[in-house]
Structure 1
Amino acid sequence: MDRDMAWFRELDPQERSWIGMIVQAGIKGFVDWYRDPMAGSPELRAEVFGNAPRAFAGQISLQRTVAMVRLSIEVVEENVVDVLGETDAPPVLEAVTRYGRELAFATAEIYARAAEMRGAWDARLEALVVDSVLRGETDGAVESRASALGWSVAGHVFAVVGPVPADARAATDDVRRIAHDAGLRTLCAVQGDRLVVILGGATEHELPGAALAEVFGEGPVVVGPPADQLADVAPSAAEALAAYRCAAGWVGAPRPVAADQLLPERALDGDTAARSHLVEQIYAPLAQAGPVVLETLGAYLDRGGSLEATARALFVHANTVRYRLRRASETVGLDPSDPRDAYTLRVALTLGRL
């Protein structure tokens, strides 16, 4: 092995001793089994790998273990004829082939069980990280746990919340697959009747989660605002959860929908952050744009979006109304002629007047 396998020379003494124990146990197991074939097939998983520590499968890869087993069998086969002679060698070689096949299955079982245990542990650790993020406990320990799960992103981080599908386990696997294909990183966990996904690596100019929407169960899928890093995503998650709770109030909401698009429903549901946003980011800029802009917008909304009725009520020309409404739209980025934007503006004006 030291001659034919470059990676073997890079192992530390402890890892070499593990391999030595496994090879010796494998040869001894074959000799014992061949000496007494009536005893039945050996339990190779326990007999060969039983003395190896649990860390073996985590530090020596399956590929290297298979190469080690293959080389050991080749060495035995090359020397059987010299030791036993051409007459006695054939049945032993046949037995070595059978033993090698059983040993291959035992090796696969060892690594399959290790992967299953590692997957279960990763799922619990991932759920713990997501729960900590939702509670705002994004300290160094949380970032360290996320790094252990392979979290390393360059780009914005988003929180995505939606209903859990019928097969929750398959959903988390699908989320990881779709995100990986899109070059994104994910942390996901099932919390009650909702599936929470922390999505990293997306740009601020796109609404992530569109490809993931099909993974969630039937119902709204909400995306929180972008954060610069995992440690800052707690407010995004809080907004996404608040929007998810009241998303049913907008029957025609897109899927996914941004948490900021549900500001009216969130405000009516008692979300203080949404109320503050509507007042500070919509009402206050409109008020600063001038009293006639605010007055015209209020009159326009009160009259069902009729330019003529608004012009008559204010004793101005319809073009003046259009000009003032355009100023309002440019100020806050909402179009009063759009039914959804008009609803958001109406709630903002109501809250601002209180």
Structure 2
Amino acid sequence: MNEQPHRPRDHQDSDPSGPASAQDGADALRAETARRLERSMGRLGTAAVASMEERLPWFRRMSAEDRSWIGLVAQSGVAAFVDWFRNPVRGRPAITVEVFGTAPRELTRSVTLQQTVDMIRVVIDVVEGQVDELAAPGGAMQLREDVLRYTREVAFSSAKVYARAAEARGAWDARLEALIVDALLHGDHQDGLQTWGSSLRWTQTPVIAIAGDSGEEDGNKVLDDLRGAARRAGHDVIAGMQGDRVVVVVGVGDTYPEGELPAAAAEPLAGLFGPGPVVVGPAVPDLRASGASARAAVSGLRSAVAWPDAPRPVLAEDLLPERVLQGEAGARRQLVEEVYKPLLGAGSPLLDTLSVYLEHASSLEATARMLFVHPNTVRYRLSRIAELTGHTPSDGRGSFVLRIAVALGRLDATERG
């Protein structure tokens, strides 16, 4: 019997049930499932939106426009999954662009990250609920596993979208805050302040401004610390840098009793500024009027060096004499209006008593002798002066303020005469 020569088995003679055939079978299953998914995309997107309507109360409360955008996001998510499922070997799906690229950037302000997670969960539940119907015979496990992979990728992509939106929003807010602070200090764009404030979600009134130096600290860190502390206290806040100077505008609400507002609101924030004085502008009714408070605070900061023992923080109104010496016309008018004119209106005895008292080294007896009155009369008149002006003549600081105010008032009277 003739022996057949030995011939090695060719690759084509391999077992048809081997790995290559198994892969071919899996690819065929995938292709058939992909065709079924493609035919069902519209139905799946519609079912997902209907399920959101039923399961998500926040979705029902949204505007029709935002619901429409979310519907498009859901449809895009299904379409992107089908495209990726058809050819998964191309690597990680570009979900950020394919799914979220259809929606406007403003949608991330209407829908929170948690709500997005809820939305994704609903869409995936809709697809998973129909896996057996959507998959080709024998392909249910393959489809289910890929749905889980895709769910994870969408979750990661959602977090990236919101993180980037938050980063961009933070950078935009910082630029807008700097623009607002600059406008307040220069008295520009007053008509646009309310609109700008609305874009920063500003709601609190009244408003105060605080000015101080950053010192050797990083200015951005000082701004971040001030914003964080103000927001934790429940305030609205805008902060900006001008060189080494930090200006913070704070909407404080009705937290503080009338009369205590500026100093009480600024006290917890003062320690976050760098070394040196911290000056608080007067309370104003709203953001539109806050320029006056900001300018007073900055003017007071420039002048505070003339009062080394000033408290920290110090009210800009307590620095009126120093601001006058710096040449601020508004401070001069305010000092005359609030101190000199009340004394003038109360009659000459008070003004005469104050002038003599200040000229005679705050001596009751010397003042009484010069005016030919009893020392108790001098005491009474001095107490009336303190009531009318808020400044005590016998106090060192009070006598300084009163002396400057009286001198300015007399100068104004001479100039007008």
Shorter-chain TM band: 0.7 to 0.9
Secondary structure of 1:26 counterpart? helix
Distance 1:245 1:53, change over 3 A: same
Q: Alpha-carbon deviation of 1:312?
A: 4.4
Q: Alpha-carbon deviation of 1:167?
A: 3.5
Q: Alpha-carbon deviation of 1:271?
A: 1.4
Asked if the contact 2:386/2:392 (under 8 Å) is kept, the reply is: yes
Match of 2:72 in 1: 17
**Residue correspondence of structure 1 range 1-354 to structure 2 within 5 A:** 1-6=48-53, 11-12=64-65, 13-33=68-88, 36=89, 39-50=90-101, 52-80=103-131, 83=135, 89-90=140-141, 93-153=144-204, 155-164=205-214, 166-200=217-251, 201-202=253-254, 204-206=258-260, 207=262, 208-354=265-411
Distance 1:229 1:60, change over 3 A: closer
Q: Which amino acid aligns with 2:226?
A: V
CA distance in 2, matches of 1:130, 1:221: 17
CA distance in 2, matches of 1:287, 1:72: 78
Distance 1:125 1:223, change over 3 A: same
Alpha-carbon displacement from aligned partner over 1:216-243 (angstroms, at most 9, x marks no partner): 2222111112222222232222222211
Secondary structure of 2:271 counterpart? helix
Secondary structure of 1:179 counterpart? helix
Secondary structure of 2:51 counterpart? coil
Distance 1:296 1:141, change over 3 A: closer
Asked if the contact 1:162/1:195 (under 8 Å) is kept, the reply is: yes
Distance 1:236 1:47, change over 3 A: closer
Q: Alpha-carbon deviation of 1:27?
A: 3.4
CA distance in 2, matches of 1:50, 1:314: 85
Distance 1:134 1:80, change over 3 A: same
RMSD of equivalent CA atoms: 2.8
Greater CA radius of gyration, 1 or 2? 2
Asked if the contact 2:177/2:240 (under 8 Å) is kept, the reply is: yes
Asked if the contact 1:22/1:52 (under 8 Å) is kept, the reply is: no
CA distance in 2, matches of 1:55, 1:282: 53
Distance 1:48 1:17, change over 3 A: closer
Asked if the contact 2:211/2:279 (under 8 Å) is kept, the reply is: yes
Q: Alpha-carbon deviation of 1:291?
A: 3.3
Asked if the contact 2:323/2:331 (under 8 Å) is kept, the reply is: yes
Alpha-carbon displacement from aligned partner over 1:164-213 (angstroms, at most 9, x marks no partner): 36243343343333333433322222222222222222554222311221
CA distance in 2, matches of 1:241, 1:229: 19
Distance 1:181 1:61, change over 3 A: closer
- TM-score using structure 1 length: 0.85
Asked if the contact 1:163/1:218 (under 8 Å) is kept, the reply is: yes
- TM-score using structure 2 length: 0.74
Secondary structure of 1:347 counterpart? helix
Q: Alpha-carbon deviation of 1:160?
A: 1.8
CA distance in 1, matches of 2:266, 2:285: 17
Runs of at least 4 residues off by over 6 Å: none
Q: Alpha-carbon deviation of 1:90?
A: 4.7
Alpha-carbon displacement from aligned partner over 1:293-325 (angstroms, at most 9, x marks no partner): 323322322333232343445454432321221
Distance 1:22 1:91, change over 3 A: closer
Q: Which amino acid aligns with 1:146?
A: G
Q: Which amino acid aligns with 1:66?
A: V
CA distance in 2, matches of 1:68, 1:294: 75
Q: Which runs of 5+ in 2 are unaligned?
A: 1-47, 412-417
Q: Which amino acid aligns with 2:87?
A: D
Q: Which amino acid aligns with 1:114?
A: A
Q: Alpha-carbon deviation of 1:91?
A: 5.8
Asked if the contact 1:29/1:48 (under 8 Å) is kept, the reply is: no
Q: Which amino acid aligns with 2:208?
A: F
Secondary structure of 1:197 counterpart? strand
Asked if the contact 2:193/2:287 (under 8 Å) is kept, the reply is: no
CA distance in 1, matches of 2:334, 2:108: 53
Q: Which amino acid aligns with 1:221?
A: V
Distance 1:328 1:108, change over 3 A: same
Distance 1:315 1:181, change over 3 A: same
CA distance in 1, matches of 2:266, 2:341: 32
Asked if the contact 1:126/1:146 (under 8 Å) is kept, the reply is: no
